[in-house]
Every structure is written in C-alpha cells, then in structure tokens.
Chain A
Amino acid sequence: MRRLLVASLLVLCAGLPGVSRAAGKPKILFMPGVADPFYFTMEKGIKAKAAEIGADLTVAEYPKSWGPDAQVPILQAAIAAGKYDLLLIAPTSTDALKAPLKGIYDKGVEIITVDTFIGDGDYSKPSDYNFPLSYIGSDNELGGKQMAQQLAKLVGGKGKVFVEATNPDASSVQGRVKGFKAGAAESGLQLVGVEWCQDVQQKAQEQTLAALQKDKDIVGIFGTNVFSAQGSYQAVVNAGLTGAVKIASWDATKELIGALKKGQVDLVLAQKPAEMGSLAVDWGVKYLKDKKGVKVPKKVIPGFEFFTKANVDDPKMQQFIYQ
C-alpha cells in the first residue's frame, strides 16, 4: 500500500508538469512596457494571433510608468501567479531586466523581447543576456535616420531642427535620437537641441516653445513618441507657426493621423506594434511545439511605414494606424 502511494506520488510529481505542458494549450504571458497606445495596439495583435492558433494568453497589468521599478514587481507577481511556457516582454531597461529575466528563463519559461531589448539587443553572440529566443521590434536607429531624411526632404535639405524625446533611459528612444542625429548630419540639417518630456505632453509643449524661442528659425521638429509628438505640434499651434515649422512624429495614433490631415503634423512614422505582437506569438508557439526543429531568428524587424499628407487617405495605409 505504502509503496503504491509513493509510486503514485512519484508519477504525479514527474508526470503532471510534463503532461499539462504537452497536452494543454501553450500558455503565454504578455508583459507590456507602459500603459500607452503603442502597447495597447500590440496587445490586440497578440490577442488575435493567440486566438487564431489556440494559445492561452494572459496579459499582465500595464505598468503605470516607464521603468524597471514599476515593471519588475508586476512581472514577478504575474510569473508567481501562473505557470507559463512563453513570456513576451518589452523590457523597460537594457540592464535592470537582465537578472529578473534570467531567473524566469531558468525556471523553464522561453522569452521573446518585443519592442525593446536587454543588453544591446543582439542575442546571437555569447553574452550574459543572450538567452531570449528573439528580439522582435523596430530598428529604432534606422527609423530615426529615415525620419531625418524624410524631414530633410520636407524642409528643403537645410535649416535648424529640434528633437522632443521622451525617456532618456529607454533603448528604443535612445536609438531614435541617435539615428536622427546621424541622419540630420548627413542630410544637411543642423540639430539645435534634444529635450526629454518623460511622457508628459504638457512638458513637451513647454520645452518645444522654449526651443522655438531660443532658435527662432527652427524649421523642423521630431517628436519621438506619442506624447512628445503631440506636445511639440501643439506648441507649434500655440506659437501660431503651423505650416512654418514641419513636425515629424513617431507612432501613428489616430490623433496624430488626424493632425496630419489638418496640416498640423507633416510626417508620421508608423511602427507595426500589432505585427510585432503577432510575430512574437507565432514564432514563440512554433518553437514551443518543436524545440529542435524550429530555428527562431534572433532578430525580427517588421519595418516602418511613413504617412504624409499625400498618402494618408490611401486605403492600404489605414491598417497601420494604431487603434
């Protein structure tokens, strides 16, 4: 009797996790970076794909502010509350998320970083952060560079430009600013300043107005995310300079597209958050089903689309608006 009990316990212990994993749907946890339209749109992409291929999706609480101090406790609590096979996460720090993610990975959860990455985002070389399956997100530096080139075309290839950025500690934002700097220099634009609004539109407005005051002949402004782009175009409206100062904005929210139609914004770069999310689910689940056979690319870059006044009503472009 006792032997039977021990034996059945052993079977239970050894068998249960394996059985539930093999037979059940793959369990996915999505850990967004911060509560904003970009990640809400990504969640839609993830949800749709998960429903399509029959994966069991949990969305962790949206952190209220950007940063590991807000994100890590939510992540730990979510991981402790359920058993997951795959974690899709937008790490809010290139360094501070390395250790928590390694801990989760060591418990047997596969990880894909979406939109942002840990380390330098290159998981193909030996390092202490190469354990994620893949980084699926934008090449922000390339986007920043293309933005500068497009803006240069709009302003005639010369003049002063200004960058209204958001958080100085996010890999994505750093990349955009870096790329824009390089692109501006190559295209003959003179960069007169970079400001950080920390996702506060009111701050972005104040900072842009100060910049417009300091350099009265600014011809173009690059807003690096929703809040900075909205704040900077509104500052131009406040200053009565609509049309005289061209606004290039990152992220295609409905509001920014509306502003583009009204001529308040001149250039909108659309990332593909829904596609990022969808690709992450797709690759992750493929890998879980056949760990030996499937080789996941270490970097997947969905690319960008540029909205201008000329193509904003094009039916093919509408799918790239975040909603």
Chain B
Amino acid sequence: MSPWAAAPAGATTDPSGGFLSWRVGRAVARNWAACFLLAMLVVFSFTGRNFLSFVNFQNVVHLQTLPLLLAAAETFVIITGGIDLSIGFVAGLASVTAAKLMQLLLSAGLQGGGVIALGTAGALLLSLLPGLVNGLVITRFKVPPFIATLGMWGIANGVALKLCQGFPVADLPGALPRIGNGYLLYLLPGRFVSFLDRPVDFPEARIREVWRIIPFSLPFVLLVLGSLAFLLRRGRFGRHTYAIGGSMDAAIRAGIDVDGHLVRIYVLASALAGLAGVFNVFQTGIGNYTTFSSMYELFAVAAVVIGGASLSGGKGRILGSAVGVLVLAFLENGLAISGVQPFYRYILVGVLLVVAVVIDKLFPDLF
C-alpha cells in the first residue's frame, strides 16, 4: 500500500499555499488524461479527414460501451488494491449464456419480449457467480487476486466455449440489434424527424444522409457509470472501498468488514462484466465468446491506470477510468483516420500506457 494513498482521494491538501500557476499546473497534472484526450481530439481534427464529426464521436462512444463497463468494474477492484483478470471472459460467458438461453426459450415456443427479458435476466444472474467464487477464494483462502481471478479467467472461458462449441450463437430475436443499435432521434433534413425508430417510408437510397442522434447505449452507459460513481463517492460503500485500498490493516482496525466488502466488490465487478456481455448481445445480435487475443481485462486495467488509479490501491475514479477508455479509443480511431499504419498504433498505445504510470509515480501526491 502506498503511504500517500492512505487518505481517500480528494483529501490531499495544497502544500504551497495556492499560487495560481501552481494550481493550474496541479489541475492539469491531476487530470492529465482528460487534457491529453482534449489535445488528441484537437490534433486529430487537423490530421484526420472527417475525424472531427458528430457521427464519428458518437460511433466511438457507442462502440466503447463494453470497454466502459469493464473499466468501471476494474476500477472498484483496483481501488481495493486488487485486480480482476476474469472480467473479459465473464463478459464472453454472459454473452454466450444470454444467447443460449434465448435460443432455448425460442425453441420452447416463447416469443418476443419475454425471450429477451428472461435471457438477459438469466445471464445477469449467472454472472454473479464468478465474482462470488473470486471473492471467497481471495478472502477465505488468502489467494492473491491475480491468481484467483486468473483461475476464473480460464474457467469462464472454458465454460463459454463448452456452451457454444466455439461457434458464435446465432438465430436470436431480430429485435436485439435494433434495440442495441437504436437511436433516440432519426433526422433527414427537409424530409423527416423520427423518434426511436426509422420511419416506415425510409428512403433507402438516401441512407448515407440520415442523421442518427444519441444511441440508446449512451443514456444506458451514463446511467450505469453515474450510479457507480455515486456509489463510490458518496456513502459507506465507497469510503470502505478506498479505505481497504489505502491500508488493509487500518481498515481492519477501524472495524470494517474487509472480507465481506471484498466479496461484494468482486461480485459487483463480475456483475458489471456480465452486463457488458449481455449488452454485447444487443449490440451484435449474436452471442460471442471472448477470444484470447481480445485482452479486454488488460485494456480495462490500462484504462483505469491512465484514468489516474494506482495499481497499489487507494485511488481511482469512475470518471477517470471512463476518460482512460476514451483516450485509448480515440487514439486508435484518430490514428486510423489519419492514415497511420496499424503496427505503429500498437507502439503508440504501449508508450501511452507507460507514460501514464510514469506520471503516476512522478507526481503521486497530485491525485
């Protein structure tokens, strides 16, 4: 545990007495990821044709729903000083389970909304289980989180592959991708304005001119992340989370039920991963197992670290992690639109991650 992280985030005092320049500098360093994100958006607007566009930003955010949920899950775990490597495969397991359940219900003769609701609920319920096992193994048997969740990493993937036999699970209700990729508003200037769905007399020939505004995924992800941020910033649950990450011993001495809290944290992480997996079914219309090269969990950790959390625990914010996800997403998107070759992008993402940790180490008391 880092000694400077013993207090909850936001409780640091200003040692220099508040010179304006120092304050500005501190604000920039504190939120360097957000500043970096803004700088990146400006640069790519010049280098990439069509980068600066409402449609592009909307697309990027829409596609980051799954990474945003996984990063939020990882944020809670990392604040406690742990790590959860299983979330990527738990997401895949939830995606496959939801799809399989829906297939079963369809073949049992059920129709429409009930199939979707039951499949979703079943998969979400099941996704609590990996977290419960992780939490119990970590607290009861004192297995380091890295190892315990690495075990679950394999188990979740194996079960998912067993369930789907290595094939994406198809033939699901057609409404799924319409919901997952739906928009609040459809607009063709001078022709129509339509809420929630494309108008019936949709002109297929002018498909490229239609404006689609605010994907359903945006209010959904804002609601989830907002509630999580609230949970973390206000009230006992958040305080205990930071306290455990700041110093486990102090938390125990303060009478916090550390073991119980950790179990709840891992269950929460796994539930969020499940939510991400179920959302994936809505977005793609099929059940997808997570492939090994996805490395969702590692990119979630990266986003959380870029967002200002420390792997030694005690600090981190949901908003910061969300910024971290967007930094990685826009870096990829902007470089691609600017025509940078794929292999250079891998290098740049790697450099960025190291820089994030260096900043964390150089200015530890700024956060």
Residues of A whose CB lies within 8 Å of any CB of B are 35-37, 40, 62, 64-66, 168, 193, 195-196, 198-203, 205-207, 209-211, 213-214, 216, 226-227, 230, 234, 237-244, 253-255, 258, 262, 322-323
Contacts and interface: CB of A to CB of B under 8 A. Distances in A.
A240 B166 CA distance: 29
Given A65-B292, A66-B293, A240 B212 contact: yes
A178 B168 CA distance: 28
B170 interface: yes
Given A241-B208, A244-B207, A199 B167 contact: no
Contacts of B157: 64
A62 to B, nearest CB: 8
B259 interface: no
Contacts of A239: 59
Contacts of B50: 213-214, 216
Contact of A243 (B49, B174, B204): B204
Interface in B311-356: 329, 332-333, 336-337, 339, 342-343
A31 B320 CA distance: 45
Nearest to B56: A213
B210 interface: yes
Interface in B145-160: 157
A234 B283 CA distance: 8
Given A214-B336, A238-B181, A258 B291 contact: no
Interface string B277-318: 000000111101001111010000000000000000000000
A216 B283 CA distance: 22
Given A66-B293, A243-B204, A210 B166 contact: no
B123 interface: no
B99 to A, nearest CB: 10
Contacts of A226: 168
B51 interface: yes
Interface string B77-96: 00000000000000000000
Contacts of A238: 59, 62-63, 181, 283
Contacts of A241: 207-208
Main secondary structure of the interface of B (DSSP, over half): helix
B118 interface: no
Interface of B: 48-51, 53, 55-56, 59-60, 62-63, 66-67, 157, 161, 165-168, 170-171, 174, 177, 181, 204, 207-208, 210, 212, 283-286, 288, 291-294, 296, 329, 332-333, 336-337, 339, 342-343
A45 to B, nearest CB: 15
A64 B181 contact: no
Given A195-B336, A200-B294, A201-B288, A240 B342 contact: no
B342 A195 contact: yes
A253 B336 contact: no
19 contacts: A37-B166, A40-B167, A62-B166, A200-B291, A200-B293, A202-B294, A209-B59, A210-B337, A213-B51, A214-B49, A214-B336, A214-B337, A214-B339, A237-B181, A237-B285, A241-B208, A243-B204, A254-B170, A258-B170
Given A214-B337, A253-B170, 8 more contacts: A207-B336, A213-B53, A230-B284, A237-B181, A238-B283, A241-B208, A255-B168, A255-B286
Nearest to B293: A198
B220 to A, nearest CB: 15
B26 to A, nearest CB: 34
Nearest to A194: B342
List of 7 A-B pairs having minimum Cβ-Cβ separation, nearest first: A255-B170, A210-B336, A65-B292, A64-B292, A198-B293, A214-B337, A200-B294
Contacts of B288: 201
Contacts of B284: 201, 230, 234
Nearest to B177: A237
Contacts of B208: 216, 241, 244
Contacts of A199: 291, 293
Contacts of A66: 293
Contact of B332 (A37, A206, A237, A323): A206
A286 B285 CA distance: 45
B167 A253 contact: yes
Given A40-B167, A214-B336, A202 B63 contact: yes
Contacts of A202: 63, 66-67, 294, 296
Contacts of B285: 234, 237
B351 to A, nearest CB: 19
Given A199-B293, A210-B333, A210-B336, A240 B167 contact: no
Contacts of A40: 165-167
Contact of A214 (B48, B66, B170, B210): B48
Contacts of A262: 174
Contacts of B207: 240-244
Nearest to A231: B284
A35 B166 CA distance: 7
A322 B166 CA distance: 12
